[in-house]
Amino acid sequence: MADFGGDAEAFRVEARDWLAQNFPPAMKGVDLALTVEEPTGDARLWKARMGAKGWGVPTWPTEYGGGGLTPAEARVLQQEMARIGARNPIGGMGVMMFGPTLLEYGSDEQKQRHIPPIVRGELRWCQGYSEPGAGSDLAALQTKAEDKGDHFLVNGQKVWTSGAQYADWCFCLVRTDPNHKHEGISFLLIDMRTPGVEVRPIKLISGVSPFCETFFTDVKVPKENLVGPLNGGWTIGKRLLQHERNSLSGGGGTAGRFASGTPLDQLAKTYVGVDGEGRIADPDLRSRLIRHQMEAKAFLLTLARAAAESKGNQSPSNATSIMKNAGSKVGQDRAELAIEIMGSQGLGWEGPGFEREELEQVRNWLGGKATTIYGGSQEIQNNIIAKRILGLLDHQ
Amino acid sequence: MAVLTEEQSMLRDSARDWVREKAPVTAFRKLRDGAAPLGYDPAAFAEMAAMGWAGVVIPEAYGGSDFGYLSLGLVLEEMGRTLAASPLIASSLAAASALVLGGTDAQKQAWLPRIAAGEAVATLAVDEGARHDPLQTGLSAAPAGGGFSLTGSKTFVLEGMAADLFIVAARTSGARGEADGITLFLVPADARGVTREKRTLADARGYAAVSFDGVDVGAKAVLGAVDQGYPLLERVLDRARAGLAAEMLGMAVQAFETTLDYLKTRVQFGQTIGSFQALQHRAAKMFTELELTRSCVEAALSAIDAESPDTPQAVALAKAAAGDTLHLVSREMVQMHGGIGMTDAHDAGLYLKRARALETTFGSTAWHRDRWGRMAGY
């Protein structure tokens, strides 16, 4: 541990200097990674500088524009950015899921073509995995890609394609052999501007449309867009899901969701009132809030432990497999407690008579229902723990 | 598992090996069936002490290794796995901590080297009722002849039948329910007026009811400050609670692994019952709770080692999490084993019983949850 600290500490000076010269102070606390509009002014400048430096994806190799930093240096960079309130302007599915997967499985030509625009935050990617008949049983997917000599002809429908209405490209699992379930799937990259691609946003119970249906009708996809071997896409697709799970259960996903907003005890004291001792007046609610806060603390301690263990070069922590279920439970519980505390005010949908936080909580509660469904549902996560970690067999 | 130092890894490995070889569940079963008078095997404890485990939190100057609480927790976790009975928590952890934190040099010299060597067993005598509540201390310590005279009784004293020394919480002023007025005393078990009677609980360990009938002690028997013993007692109890949580974690891990083995071998309807999703998901739930609990237990032990101001809250979380998780796993251990899990010949019942005894010791899950909530502003 001691000697890895040395080089990383030397890097701290470099990171601090570069940030001092390149981070526009007006961008303090501003998160660009998930915004849809093209940035302007300081935001545009910050994104361009980080993109050119490759530090939005600090550990990716420099030959494709990445930062080329060691994990220890990347942590130092993160600390230095946090110190001055700088948020990483480079994000999205290209960074979190597709990029790491392509770096592992793509050809050199594919990496040269697709990685640099992700590094610079220029292109948005979406995920073409789920279909109406293939949710948790993803390998049942039917969108087919026929070999037409110099191209694949793609026909079918994807669903829950997050951000498809804004995406430039889609990484897609397609069926290239109808006779083999898992071994008949290929990993294909599709330009969303190709004729025959149609996107329809889906309105959710929370009132927003983060997901789309995406239809492919006689879409011609060049052969060079196949990643990995023909019919070898399932392995690549599963690897990508690991990256997805990690990003969903880490700082950006559910963990962030319940760390924000007014603390529940303050909320409860405001809306429910206090007893003679100054405690939340409803003792049943109080005890459930305490239980929830302790579960949240246990989850945060587990995140920290898993991080420490991976730093300490032990074998990969078993704790990571529980993160998605544990984190999504805490997030959903928090949202339900918040609206319960606020009573009718916490159900405010729109219009006058409601505080901003009240309107947010109701959307947050509804939107959060997705966290135990997407990225492998709660039940699929339990299957994974049972089979991969605990070694229990499939039912025959 | 926390990131361990090389010494900690070695300590854990040696504890694991020793426990498997010398203190498997069958060893505890033999003690129980033989109605061992002390609730543990003194020869086995002597071996543990010879390996240094009784001195892990005792400074080197007093015969210990000063390895810290996380280190002792590793040993306790391994002991919990096989229900190994010993005075490690009562004496080497709780009483030793009381002396280290509150003792004068003379008091430390008198007891710590013997505790570290396993030659003396010391224990806390705190509770006076069925439920843990140190503020309700009522045993009276009245001034007498330059010292004090102790009168009252204590219940469910851990290793109370084996103890050579009781660290007694007594009331020198104030009323039950008040923190002020509680004083800790060192009372040798052979002092005139001390009597004890075995209390046999479901977990078959060495509890005692201890009576103090006009026990005269000198002023030098006071541990810490007169009337101001409560803050010291809380710090000591938190160390004991963290150790209990480590033992509970070890028990839960083993109960889970034993159950998992059964799921993989028991065949019904032509397949192992572990292939049924209804059981797989319950197993996954237990695994999830075990991982969360491990984080809490290790955080509490580390907080003590770091002398963190968050220690009381970290300990309350650990004890509560360990209590919930151990109940979940030990209940499921019985249920998933079916009829065989109901038999005395099977280990499941031993875990189920011990789980309840540990949960209620030094504050139940509900008690610690309320305590955590108060500290968090709820």
Residue B205 has pLDDT above 50, yes or no: yes
In angstroms, what separates the C-alpha of A249 from chain B's closest C-alpha?
14
What is the rounded average pLDDT of the residues B342-366?
Answer: 98
Q: How far apart are CA A306 and CA B372, in angstroms?
A: 24
Q: How far apart are CA A181 and CA B299, in angstroms?
A: 45
Mean pLDDT value across chain B: 97
For residue A52, give every residue at least 6 positions away whose Cβ sits within 8 Å of its Cβ, in sequence order, or none. Answer: A120
Nearest to A322 among B264, B291, B298 (CB): B291
Q: How far apart are CA A168 and CA A56, in angstroms?
A: 19
Residue A250 has pLDDT above 70, yes or no: no
Q: Do residues A116 and A64 touch, judged by C-beta distance below 8 A?
A: yes
How far is the CA of A92 from the CAs of A31, A88, A95, A122, A126, in angstroms? 12, 11, 6, 11, 9
Q: How far apart are CA B97 and CA A9, in angstroms?
A: 38
Instruction: Output the pLDDT for position A321.
Output: 82
**Percentage of residues in chain B with pLDDT exceeding 90?**
98
In angstroms, what separates the C-alpha of B373 from chain A's closest C-alpha?
5
Instruction: Output the pLDDT for position A242.
Output: 81
Instruction: Output the pLDDT for position B71.
Output: 97
Which chain A residue has the Cα nearest residue B299? Answer: A301
Residue A254 has pLDDT above 70, yes or no: no
Contact across the interface for B284 and A386, Cβ inside 8 Å: yes
Sign of CA dihedral B265, B269, B271, B273: negative
CA angle (A304, A242, A370) in 5-degree steps: 85
Domain boundaries, chain B: 6-120, 124-227, 231-375
3-class DSSP state of B40: coil
Of A309 and A99, the one with more pLDDT: A99
- Joined together, the tokens standing for residue B224 give 């810490």
Q: Go through the domains of chain A in sequence order and give each one's CATH number.
A: 2-91 (no CATH), 125-232 (2.40.110.10), 250-389 (1.20.140.10)
Give the 3-state secondary structure percentages of chain B, helix then strand then coil, rounded to 5.
Answer: 55, 15, 30
The topology (CATH level 3) of B124-227 is: Butyryl-CoA Dehydrogenase, subunit A; domain 2 (2.40.110)
Contact across the interface for B376 and A293, Cβ inside 8 Å: yes
For residue B213, give every residue at least 6 positions away whose Cβ sits within 8 Å of its Cβ, in sequence order, or none. Answer: B151, B193, B194, B195
pLDDT for A14-37, tens place per residue? 999 999 999 999 998 887 765 677
> In chain A, which residues have their Cβ closer than 8 Å to the Cβ of B277?
383, 386, 395
Instruction: Output the pLDDT for position A13.
Output: 93
Instruction: Output the pLDDT for position A255.
Output: 45
Q: How far apart are CA A226 and CA A380, in angstroms?
A: 28
Which chain B residue has the Cα nearest residue A395? Answer: B275
Q: Do residues B190 and B201 touch, judged by C-beta distance below 8 A?
A: no
Contact across the interface for B373 and A382, Cβ inside 8 Å: no
| Residue of B259, B291, B317 for testing the chain A interface, max A β-carbons within 10 Å | B291
What is the rounded average pLDDT of the residues A9-15?
Answer: 91
> In chain A, which residues have their Cβ closer than 8 Å to the Cβ of B370?
287, 290
Instruction: Output the pLDDT for position A198.
Output: 97
3-class DSSP state of B22: helix
> In chain B, which residues have their Cβ closer than 8 Å to the Cβ of A386?
277, 280-281, 283-284
What is the rounded average pLDDT of the residues A36-47?
Answer: 87
Q: How far apart are CA B81 and CA B358, in angstroms?
A: 14
Please name the helix (run of DSSP H) or strand (run of DSSP E) that holds residue B209, with its range, or none.
strand B207-217
Mean pLDDT value across chain A: 90
pLDDT for B25-59, tens place per residue? 999 999 999 988 999 999 999 999 999 999 999 99
- Joined together, the tokens standing for residue B370 give 């309320």
Burial class of residue A249 (count of CB atoms within 10 Å of its CB; 0-12, 13-18, 19+): buried
Contact across the interface for A301 and B296, Cβ inside 8 Å: yes
Residues of chain B whose beta carbon is less than 8 angstroms from a beta carbon of chain A are 1-3, 260, 263-264, 270-272, 274-277, 280-281, 283-285, 287-288, 291-296, 298-299, 317, 320-321, 369-370, 372-373, 376-378
How far is the CA of A121 from the CAs of A57, A168, A175, in angstroms? 10, 12, 30
Residue A248 has pLDDT above 70, yes or no: no
Q: Do residues A184 and A239 touch, judged by C-beta distance below 8 A?
A: no
> In chain B, which residues have their Cβ closer than 8 Å to the Cβ of A391?
264
Of residues B337, B187, B185, the one with CA closest to residue B263: B337
> In chain B, which residues have their Cβ closer than 8 Å to the Cβ of A289?
373, 378
Q: How far is CA A153 from the centre of its chain?
A: 30
Which chain B residue has the Cα nearest residue A392? Answer: B274
How far is the CA of B58 from the CAs of A23, A194, B95, B113, B301, in angstroms? 52, 73, 11, 8, 15
Q: Mean pLDDT check: name the lowest of A6-20, A274-288, B351-365.
A: A6-20
Nearest to B317 among A298, A311, A379 (CB): A298
Nearest to A392 among B2, B270, B275 (CB): B275
For residue B92, give every residue at least 6 positions away whose Cβ sits within 8 Å of its Cβ, in sequence order, or none. Answer: B53, B54, B55, B56, B57, B58, B72, B115, B116
Contact across the interface for B292 and A395, Cβ inside 8 Å: no
pLDDT for B288-322, tens place per residue? 999 999 999 999 999 999 999 999 999 999 999 99
For residue A14, give every residue at least 6 positions away whose Cβ sits within 8 Å of its Cβ, in sequence order, or none. Answer: none
Select from 3.30.70.1230, 3.30.450.40, 1.10.540.10, 1.10.3720.10 the CATH code of B6-120.
1.10.540.10
- Joined together, the tokens standing for residue A163 give 């951000």
Contact across the interface for A387 and B275, Cβ inside 8 Å: no
Contact across the interface for B369 and A326, Cβ inside 8 Å: no
Q: Do residues B96 and B165 touch, judged by C-beta distance below 8 A?
A: no
In angstroms, what separates the C-alpha of A8 from chain B's closest C-alpha?
20
> In chain B, which residues have their Cβ closer than 8 Å to the Cβ of A280?
378
> In chain A, which residues have their Cβ closer than 8 Å to the Cβ of B299?
301, 305
Q: How far apart are CA B357 and CA B364, in angstroms?
A: 10
The topology (CATH level 3) of B231-375 is: Butyryl-CoA Dehydrogenase, subunit A; domain 3 (1.20.140)
Contact across the interface for A305 and B377, Cβ inside 8 Å: no
Please name the helix (run of DSSP H) or strand (run of DSSP E) that holds residue A159, with its range, or none.
strand A151-159
Size of interface A-B (CB pairs under 8 A): 121
Q: Indicate the angle between helix axes B6-22 and B42-50, nearest 10 degrees.
A: 160
The residues of A carrying an active-site annotation are: 244
In angstroms, what separates the C-alpha of A327 from chain B's closest C-alpha?
11
pLDDT for A361-392, tens place per residue? 999 999 999 999 988 899 999 999 999 999 99
Q: How far apart are CA A274 and CA A252, in angstroms?
A: 34
Backbone angles phi, psi at A153, to 5 degrees: -110, 115
The ipTM is 0.94
pLDDT for B127-167, tens place per residue? 999 999 999 999 999 999 999 999 999 999 999 999 999 99
Pseudo-torsion of CA A74, A76, A77, A83, nearest 10°? 150
pLDDT for A269-328, tens place per residue? 999 999 999 999 999 999 999 999 999 999 999 999 988 887 765 555 677 789 999 999
**Percentage of residues in chain A with pLDDT exceeding 90?**
74
- Radius of gyration (C-alpha) of chain B in whole angstroms: 21
